[in-house]
Structure 1
Amino acid sequence: MSAPPTRYPQEIEIVNHFINRLERRLAGREELTLVNRLPIDECHLGVLAPWRNPDEAEPLDAGEMAEGESPAAPPKVARAVPVAAPNSRTGTSGEADDEEPEARRAPVERVDDQDVPRRPPSALGCELMLTPVDGKVSITVNLSFAFYTTHLPTYRQQLESLGGTYRPGTAPKAPPPPTPVPTGKRGKQSETAMTLAYALRRNAVQLENLTFTLDATKMTEQRDAGRIQTALDDAITRGLVDRPAPENTMATRAGAQLTEADLKDEKAFEQFIAAHMRDKKPGRPDPALQASLMIRTEPQANGNVRVSLYLSNDTLRNDQIRTQDNVNILADARLWGDVTQGTVAPIEILPIPRDYQYDRRVWGVGHNTSVTIDQQTGRFETHALARFDQPRLTTKDHLPTEFGRFAEDTFDVLAEIYAAMEAEVTHWQDKVLGTNSEGLTPEELIECQTDFERFQGEVHRFAAGIAALRAQPELLRAFQAMNRVMGRIAAKKGFHRWRLFQIAFIVTQLPALALRENVSGGEDHLGQHHDWTGDLDIADVLWFPTGGGKTESYLGLICCAILYDRLRGKAMGVTAWLRFPLRMLSVQQLQRAVTMIHEAQIELDGLGIQGEHDKLLLGYFVGSSTTPNTLDDKFFKDHATPESCEKFKMIADCPKCGGKGTVKMEPRAKQSRLYHRCQDPKCMYYLPVVITDAEIYRTLPALIVGTVDKAATLGMQERFGILWAGPRWKCPTHGYGNIDFCIYGCTLKMQDIAKLPLIQPKDPSPTLHLQDELHLLQEELGAFAGHYETLIRYCEEQAGGKKSKVIAATATIEGFEHQTRHLYGVRDARRFPSRGYKRHENFYAKIEETAPGVAKTARVFVAFRPSGLSTEAAARCARILNSTVTKLFEEEAATLAALKETTTPEELAALRHYYSMSLTYVASLTGGTRVKDFLNDASKEILNGARDLGVRYLSGRSSTGEIAGVIEEIESPGDWKSALHVDALVATNVISHGVDLERCNLMVMEKYPAETAEYIQASSRSGRKKVGLVVVVLPVRNLRASSIYSRFQEYHQHLDRMVTPVPVNRFAKQALRRTLSGTVAGLIYGLAMPTEKDKPQNGRMTQLKNVTQALKWLDRPLAPGGAHLWITNHLRGAQALGDGNYDAELESGQVALIDDAYRLLHARLVQHTKTAARQNLGDALNPKPMTSLRDVERSIPFRPDSVPYDTLDWFEHSGK
């Protein structure tokens, strides 16, 4: 079923609808009276708490100190207002900036958490930088806040607090004692049933047109002259007219005892109240509520003046009755106003590198709030719920990119695109650089020139792709066939054309495919010659914002490469190996990839290829925690039925008939296979997918999809080398092999295998190595992965003859050149697409607009700092979002009345499809469990008792089958009233990469991730196709979160520039020492065994697993009579040394480290041959080869002194 259509105005309106309700609930505006609940637990926006003893200086909020302020205590009169420490020369607190001498540099991102008081701050406000007129500045300030007064409950409130019901005019249904009375979270004491409740009423204060004229030449302070306090006192007096509670009501929150007779009816209850109040004074807030506004000026050296405005709760803390502090708050506080004399100047410079496309200026800084400032009009406003609307990028569609045209009029349509590229080059060169149409400075023009040259290179590579098609007829056929395949797939989703960057990227990669046939150059359609000899030594990084279509780009390229391999005579073997850093990444992509393989096979069947060739398969190459590594008799005994194998199902939908959830598992012991098979009686299709390591080695799928960790298997698995060296023989029952035996249980013996025809595969190594989510390969994982990546590339070149082309995809691009060089040992790396000369716009994409200059929103970020714990606040936000969803369904008429763009029930139903599920991103397993439990407990409240809330929880502990099942439930939501409907998804970062769910548009982030890259990735789960909402809970104890909150707009405008370069260093000493064992074993399994020329019956290949035989291979001299061992050269090659890709000093240090580490390892191997009973190579290597790239800790061997090693070895192995 296709998703219902919606319009952008409807989407942004419904998102605003959710935001408005969220703000009302978080600010406490929807409940004017709280019964037996504290304001501190219900109010989370603009909350100001009482402050310390006036004889003590109020310490700065830790958040404020994080923002680069001086920790010196301010004068007592200043209260909690931060004091800046400006540089006396420049008026800044840091390094002067040539561009903005008056603007100080904003603090660098910090990720450290410090313990700060959990209590809310006692002041909020903002700071502006103003340019005075005639030595003065004038500001008009408006403000508002709410406060609470304590009252006696009404009869209805008393009954409801005890769980009873109120029916006017009839005898109430009194609650049977003892019913526990609900309490606030603070205090935790149990309140006995049948006690008098307390009621806290919300009151509002608003003052406008407070005008301040300030001397900009002096450091001054001004206050509001008591106007706020007068308004507050008056509001308190008005608020306490009706049913004021007696003094000290909040001292214990244990009200007077009630009897059933007191609750018989309203008259009896009022008589009890009258008796209770006899001889008691009506209470006022204690200590007395106090509030004020303060403005401070700080002259700057350049003539500007820094103006700080703070609204503060001056109420003293109640040291005897701490509960009273949780009542004496000011809530929902905000400031707004205008600069009436003077102009706004930037106050800070963001700490990001200079770039001509980015404006680093900050125009205002909030404190304990966010602030927006109109630099033209001088209008400013604080926002406790910060907001940023992120624009949506869209592809340019001014050029023909229909699949059919590329399949039929290939060169004509490519020439048309190339001509447009050249026109862009001419415009950039003549206008932007030649006449400086963008008004850039000389330094900025140099940067722009660099971007121009990169785009020129991109155009040149596109032309080289055209030349490759002209030089290789089989490549042209494959390219045309690929367009037919991808066109059929897209048509099922309602698309008929490529995005421009997708097809351009594929064309630029075609020369790398032509190199497989030793075609290293050719002429394009204009007769220009292109040479691409060194293309395999350069990594290409595909960069586009999340949700932009990267997956289809590389699937199209993979499809073209597979078809090309078959057309050029490669009848078997791996064409592409697609890797993901996390298991979750490959669940949804796997479904897309299987569909592509299915359609590619259909296309191949119609191409009339001569000779036999394998059917196309996809191999799912992951760890044993997801799928079994081997299939033996025990496995099939334990998993004899399809039902017992369901946990291994990776694909739910049939790519042939399109059936949803029709695929089931089918074990076949004879063939030693686990099949995915469609169970639709009209289909019964066997899906082209294998999911175990053993099947992959025996079938050699054209496409392998798996996790990056599987590379470590090379150090333990003797069959691994078949992936690039190809097979030597084929068992009629079980498939390919390259060592001395088939699978365990096969009737073929070694001498039988020797009689099988010798297979000489063509170009057996993969054409493409593709890495998705490149930025996740960092630190230890990146260093370890880099060692195994270069080892595999070396083995491929030595055993198969050619390197693979390295392609990576990422949505966060910072530092990719360094990262790819350290990961893959390549000479250089290129980004595609390159930048244009305008931000958010290049040749392929631009900001989508509703009108000229009016950007469409992709997702709306809102954020706040709660008064309590962030996990509880996140759960509360999810509850609010889900209860709002309930109103969309149950209060349809009221919802339609509130929405202007959505006018019919059908339109509302379409919106509900995309906005009826919340996603809560949590930072820990504990946080996820707490949010899940909170939502389950609030189920009755959220859904008004209609059914239980459908909550799902995904974490790193979830199996792939569970993840796939939840995705299927979300993508096929069913009826909202159904008990199977998924209302809320709670997930750890397992959801933050590679998951494309168009219904995840209401998102809550429990914590701000430690890295901006993770924030970008996680938040982009929302708003993939429709406008999304991301609610960010900024933890109180996090200094970095405080800084982000204070500069929310500017931070999100520069998110991509806030990404830190990926830290990875392949030259780390401990990394080499940890991977050397696996490298040595990998050279034996991945190079020695696959290239061994002896016949299988001699057992030579199997013997290499023996330590003595392995040492003979390792100790082979480089040349007859030579003393230098050839393994030394292999180890250096496996580390990508000697090609000039790294600094000479680094390389020499690594060579010395390799030599030292190998000598030690070799000595241990020799010692093992003399002392150990078992001579297996895997047992002899010390340290053991890594079982996973996350296997960071090195094991430490130990033994009792009194027990011989041989005895322990027997217990470990033979004694089992």
Structure 2
Amino acid sequence: MNTAEREERYGAAEKFVDWLARYVADDARGTANPQSSVDPRGAYWLGRLAPLVEIAASPLGDRAERLEPCAVGFRSLPKDGPIAFKATVTFVVWARSAQSWTKSLPVRVEVPVELPDEVGEREWGRAELAAALAAVAPNSGLAAFIQTELSRTSDGKRELTIELVNDSDPDHANAASHAKGRLFECGLAVVDLATEDYLLEDLPDSFRYDRRVAAWGLNCGVERIQGGFETNDLPTFEKHRPVYWTVDDDRPDLTFDTLARDPVPQLSALHASLVAWGKRAWSVEAIRASTPSWSDDLEREVLAEAEAFRAECARIRAGIDLLNDDETLARAFKAMNAAMKISADGKYDQWRPFQVGFMLANLVSCIGGDQDITDIVWFSTGGGKTETYLGIILTAAFYDRLTGKTTGITAWSRFPLRLLSLQQTQRFANALAGAERVRIDMRIRGDAFSLGFLVGSGATPNDVKTKSPWDPDDIGMPDRIRMLKVCPFCRQDSIKMSFDFGLWRVDHRCTNEVCPWDRAKPLPIHVVDTEVWRVLPTVVVGTLDKAAGIALQANMRGMIAEPSGFCPRAGHGHTYATRANRPQGCLVPDCTEPRGPLPMAEDRYAVGFRLQDELHLLRDSLGAVDAHYEALYDDLQQTLSGRRPKILASSATLSGYRRQSDVLYGREARVFPHPEPKAGQGFWSGTSPEAMRKYLAVAPRGQTIEYALDRMIVSLQTAIRRLIADPTALAAEIGIDAHHIDFLVRYYGTDVIYGNTLRDLDAVVRSGETQWEDVPSPRPRVASLTGRTMFTDVIETLEELESPKDDFADRTHVVVGSSMMSHGVDIDRLNVMVMLGLPLTTAEFIQATARVGRTWPSLVFVVHKIARERDASVYRSFRQFVDQGDRFVEPIPITGNSRRVLERTIAGLAFARMLMLHEPRAGGSLALTRKVRDYLAKAPGFEAAEIDAVCETLRFDDESNPTLRGEVEKWYHHLVAEVQDPANAGEFANSLGLYGGPMMSLRDVEEQVEVWGRDPS
């Protein structure tokens, strides 16, 4: 698709999105329906007002007004001088006749208002509205008026509230024939009212945001119109797509070709533009001129932030200087760019400037620098963070190979959710395949660049064993763990899965005869834990949970240091601690070959990088537990290999990132890019005219959320079926060319229903079976992506969403998703979302809504559970909540100093040290208690030394954490006593801990209980 075609399609999509939003709203209001077979109270759930007397008498109090308001309007700050304006009220009335209901023509009444400068409430237009209602619904008991209230704010300013109030009598004799006094399709507009803006509270970073608010809606949204305001049933905010070059300077050539050939001149030009922009943008005078309520404190804050920006510039300059001064690093950087060109496969041919900036700022970490700093990339979702990571990783991998690291892990990338690791696997594989092709061309010695997949056993095997869920005799077993959709070398769906009994290996093999990979070999991807440890792939991706394995598997040593040896039999790989079933430590079953020497120096095995995607998800108990394991991994790698890894991370929030990094990693933290002085006006990104996401706040009136959600799905799915049934007429209605209809059906025919609880999502699935009959054929097909969805079903659903079936009837039309879906789902076809209630955190709201609109304009309907205070508060300030969401992200709740957390982690910390440090010293297994007892007899001072070591690892000391140190001492006293007890001689030592054995997963944070079943016979 060329640029002109894309722009034409994008314009059509923008018009369609606007039309679709109106279509849903009109259905909810009943705008297009002159008649109804049912009481409109049971059909229409937007734009309606209940009688004042009914709401006032409700036992629900304020919640009654939120659930079904009796008034809509807004608050504003009138300018000094007389207050005079014209208010226009609009609504319709429904009346029952015989077996049906008929809607009146729209009622429109203009009321001039001249308000005295006196505090108090006043009514206006009661007579005019009574006359208009009598004309369309005589003897109905219907009534309405405009109410104003003039008051004073805390700083003495005049504040004016203007509302349309329904004052109908719900007990009138004819009320039942007029929807019990309801008014429908209500609106209020005011013109000729001169106002000034509200100013949001002055918070840290306030200078970056536009704090002005023209008016506050009351039970509705409020929009500016020519000379005034009007109410809106769906408060709306539109985010625009970012652009990645925002200055007038000539854009440097950041194509892969140029950077693979001669990078420094173009990188220097990028740095020069950044510095010049910074001088203008970070000028105190310029910021003061555009910032209301300037203060000395604000000026000091700006100066400090400007200094942090200059430090970022210096880091980028230092990266360029490294490329000038270090020939090997420059060669690795060029090779990485050549690899990324292959990986991109023609979809793109250059870096975005921010990606290059991050790589340059962190280039020193490829040669072992900045290990004591956590570097966090903070950029909008969809901006290319994964590729940025890959640029750093591939540069480090090439540098490793060029400097003698011929095998072993360069980076371990961990994801909090399995869906993230699954989605990223193909992208990582593609990049590593490109790197491997370059490595071969450059004749760089060493193992092939390879990828390992390390997740829970529910997705891929810990090991392949007979008579297990991963039985090699099961011919379908390999297909169940296929982790790649296409071959990363030729990009064809040509992968055949098989099991190699000779090498005890699950193989992904490409069958494409013209694939550039040597088809005699399996693809360099390893999805079984034991294979990962044998091969030690260049990059390992997986879930965070697997970090717990270091206390359970001696083989995890390969993730932090050198293995015990290398099996001389071809294809068997590295060896580890001996066990009864592997006398020489080889992980291939029945291998008895004496282990050989390692293929490279021991000190090169240390992992160079630990990457943490979606850092903000490491919170609460998961974050606290991980903090202990991160400290453990750091300490063990430092002890065994002499250095800690570099930590790179991405996060959706900057709130509390320094403290989070300190708790998790014991490191200072930096963020890139440094936040710009004006939000949306940075050097690395700015705002384009193209719409990206239209957010609409939905507060159902007089109906349940479940009913409103069902009707929205019916409206959305009906709209698409109308496109299919009559494309010419619908194209004319939307205002686009009919040849775009197939495109719109493809990219807007699937709706995402995002829920916060599985109970809510289960209700949606049930509703699909009974409540969506009004959707024209074909019946909507529903798929689920929640924590309960089987791994194989997740893969199948994602593939179907990315590559839909040709027949619309066979496609997935509705995806029901939970927080599992809030990260890592990057599918261009998802462009309509209905969010069922606000997520618990703002960060989740930002991440979840970013699942739609990745490439095309999108709609996000946020259905508020309006009876809840938080939802009601966000509804009132919806525009600001969406626009300035980063300001409202809650600090990450996390602590490593918790006794309950220590109770869960202490066994893992202790037995990981036993496996990684003491077993090699003992010269044999310390799994059984009697072996440990014998070892302790030869290791006086073991208990005291271990207590000190664990407390030092966790940064517990006598002054700041005496209680926690006491807990460590108590645990070790108990363990040593149990080990010395002869009755325990045959037990596994790791079962003797005071609080049980090591965690199986980092998510096992709750106390474990045994569940016993009763034999029904």
Give how far 1:42 is off.
1.8
- State the partner residue of 1:230: 131
Which of residues 910, 916, 921 is equivalent to 2:754? 921
Which of residues 251, 260, 274 is equivalent to 1:407? 260
Question: Aligned equivalents of 1:325 and 1:1126: distance in 2?
Answer: 83
Helix, strand or coil at the partner of 1:486: helix
- Distance change (3 Å), C-alpha of 1:321 and 1:936: farther
Which of residues 959, 968, 977 is equivalent to 2:799? 968
Question: Aligned equivalents of 2:352 and 2:596: distance in 1?
Answer: 52
8 Å contact kept, 2:530–2:587: no
8 Å contact kept, 2:406–2:600: no
Helix, strand or coil at the partner of 1:385: coil
Q: CA deviation digits over 1:3-39, x for unaligned, max 9?
A: 983533222211101111111111111222111x221
- State the partner residue of 1:395: 244
Q: CA deviation digits over 1:24-69, x for unaligned, max 9?
A: 111111222111x221232121222235469x76678535xxxxxx
- Distance change (3 Å), C-alpha of 1:748 and 1:1197: same
- Distance change (3 Å), C-alpha of 1:336 and 1:757: closer
Give how far 1:474 is off.
2.1
Question: Aligned equivalents of 1:219 and 1:776: distance in 2?
Answer: 49
Give how far 1:682 is off.
5.5
Q: CA deviation digits over 1:1092-1129, x for unaligned, max 9?
A: 257xxxxx231x22335446767987xxx979822133
Q: Does 1:569 align with 2:420?
A: no
Question: Aligned equivalents of 1:1166 and 1:324: distance in 2?
Answer: 83
- Distance change (3 Å), C-alpha of 1:883 and 1:959: same
Q: Following superposition of structure 1 onto structure 2, how do residues 1093-1172 of structure 1 map, counting pairs within 5 Å?
A: 1100-1102=923-925, 1104-1110=926-932, 1125-1136=944-955, 1148-1150=959-961, 1152-1170=963-981, 1171-1172=983-984
Helix, strand or coil at the partner of 2:767: helix
Which of residues 777, 785, 790 is equivalent to 1:959? 790
Give how far 1:543 is off.
0.5
Give how far 1:568 is off.
0.9
Give how far 1:743 is off.
5.6
Helix, strand or coil at the partner of 1:999: coil
Q: Does 1:830 align with 2:663?
A: no
- Distance change (3 Å), C-alpha of 1:436 and 1:26: closer
- State the partner residue of 1:729: 565
- Distance change (3 Å), C-alpha of 1:1162 and 1:760: farther
- State the partner residue of 1:1213: none
Helix, strand or coil at the partner of 1:725: coil
**Which moved further from structure 2: 1005-1014 or 1169-1178?**
1169-1178
Question: Aligned equivalents of 1:552 and 1:316: distance in 2?
Answer: 64
Give how far 1:500 is off.
0.3
- State the partner residue of 1:363: 214
- State the partner residue of 2:522: 686
Question: Aligned equivalents of 2:872 and 2:287: distance in 1?
Answer: 44
8 Å contact kept, 2:614–2:651: yes
Give how far 1:755 is off.
6.2
Q: Does 1:380 align with 2:234?
A: no
Which of residues 705, 713, 738 is equivalent to 2:541? 705
Q: CA deviation digits over 1:177-207, x for unaligned, max 9?
A: xxxxxxxxxxxxxxxxxxxxx2111224433
Helix, strand or coil at the partner of 2:104: strand
- State the partner residue of 1:609: 444
Give the letter aligned to residue 62 of structure 1: D
Which of residues 834, 839, 843 is equivalent to 1:1013? 843
Helix, strand or coil at the partner of 1:1101: coil
8 Å contact kept, 2:465–2:471: no
Give how far 1:303 is off.
5.0
- State the partner residue of 1:1187: 1000
Structure 1 residue runs of 5 or longer lacking an equivalent are: 64-115, 153-197, 238-283, 516-531, 850-855, 1095-1099, 1138-1145, 1200-1216
Q: Following superposition of structure 1 onto structure 2, how do residues 1069-1084 of structure 1 map, counting pairs within 5 Å?
A: 1069-1084=899-914
Question: Aligned equivalents of 1:57 and 1:222: distance in 2?
Answer: 21
Question: Aligned equivalents of 1:1017 and 1:498: distance in 2?
Answer: 23
Which of residues 22, 26, 32 is equivalent to 1:24? 26
8 Å contact kept, 1:543–1:833: yes
- State the partner residue of 1:457: 311
- Share of identical aligned residues, percent? 27
Give how far 1:122 is off.
2.1
- Distance change (3 Å), C-alpha of 1:878 and 1:642: farther
- Distance change (3 Å), C-alpha of 1:306 and 1:1114: farther
Give how far 1:991 is off.
1.2
Give the letter aligned to residue 71 of structure 2: A
Give how far 1:811 is off.
2.5
Q: Following superposition of structure 1 onto structure 2, how do residues 83-98 of structure 1 map, counting pairs within 5 Å?
A: none
Q: Following superposition of structure 1 onto structure 2, how do residues 784-1183 of structure 1 map, counting pairs within 5 Å?
A: 784-826=625-667, 828-849=668-689, 856-867=690-701, 868-900=703-735, 902-903=736-737, 905-937=738-770, 941-942=774-775, 944-945=776-777, 947-975=778-806, 977-1089=807-919, 1092=920, 1100-1102=923-925, 1104-1110=926-932, 1125-1136=944-955, 1148-1150=959-961, 1152-1170=963-981, 1171-1172=983-984, 1174-1183=986-995
Q: Does 1:484 align with 2:338?
A: yes
Which of residues 280, 287, 290 is equivalent to 2:143? 290
Give how far 1:1167 is off.
2.5
Give how far 1:119 is off.
5.3
- Distance change (3 Å), C-alpha of 1:222 and 1:713: same
- Distance change (3 Å), C-alpha of 1:634 and 1:322: farther
Give the letter aligned to residue 674 of structure 1: V
Give how far 1:621 is off.
0.8
Q: Does 1:10 align with 2:12?
A: yes
TM-score by length of 1: 0.77
Give how far 1:578 is off.
0.4
Give how far 1:720 is off.
1.3
**Which moved further from structure 2: 1000-1009 or 324-333?**
324-333
- Distance change (3 Å), C-alpha of 1:379 and 1:755: closer
Q: Does 1:748 align with 2:591?
A: yes
8 Å contact kept, 2:209–2:679: yes
- Distance change (3 Å), C-alpha of 1:1133 and 1:572: farther
Question: Aligned equivalents of 2:590 and 2:688: distance in 1?
Answer: 64
Q: CA deviation digits over 1:1175-1211, x for unaligned, max 9?
A: 3122112322222222122247999xxxxxxxxxxxx
Structure 2 residue runs of 5 or longer lacking an equivalent are: 1013-1017
8 Å contact kept, 2:575–2:587: no
Question: Aligned equivalents of 1:141 and 1:758: distance in 2?
Answer: 84
Question: Aligned equivalents of 1:805 and 1:960: distance in 2?
Answer: 31
Q: Does 1:675 align with 2:529?
A: no
- Distance change (3 Å), C-alpha of 1:514 and 1:595: same
8 Å contact kept, 1:896–1:908: yes
Which of residues 200, 209, 227 is equivalent to 2:101? 200
8 Å contact kept, 1:970–1:999: yes
- Distance change (3 Å), C-alpha of 1:811 and 1:1124: closer
- State the partner residue of 1:345: 196
Give the letter aligned to residue 718 of structure 1: A
Kindly report the root-mean-square deviation, in angstroms, between the aligned alpha carbons of the 2 structures: 3.0
Question: Aligned equivalents of 1:762 and 1:2: distance in 2?
Answer: 51
Give the letter aligned to residue 121 of structure 2: T
- Distance change (3 Å), C-alpha of 1:31 and 1:351: farther
Question: Aligned equivalents of 2:938 and 2:313: distance in 1?
Answer: 49
Question: Aligned equivalents of 1:363 and 1:931: distance in 2?
Answer: 38
- Distance change (3 Å), C-alpha of 1:299 and 1:543: closer
Give how far 1:591 is off.
0.8
Aligned residues: 990
- State the partner residue of 1:139: 85
8 Å contact kept, 2:545–2:1002: yes
8 Å contact kept, 2:208–2:679: yes
Give how far 1:216 is off.
2.2
- State the partner residue of 2:1015: none
- Distance change (3 Å), C-alpha of 1:758 and 1:899: closer
Give the letter aligned to residue 714 of structure 1: I
Give the letter aligned to residue 947 of structure 2: T
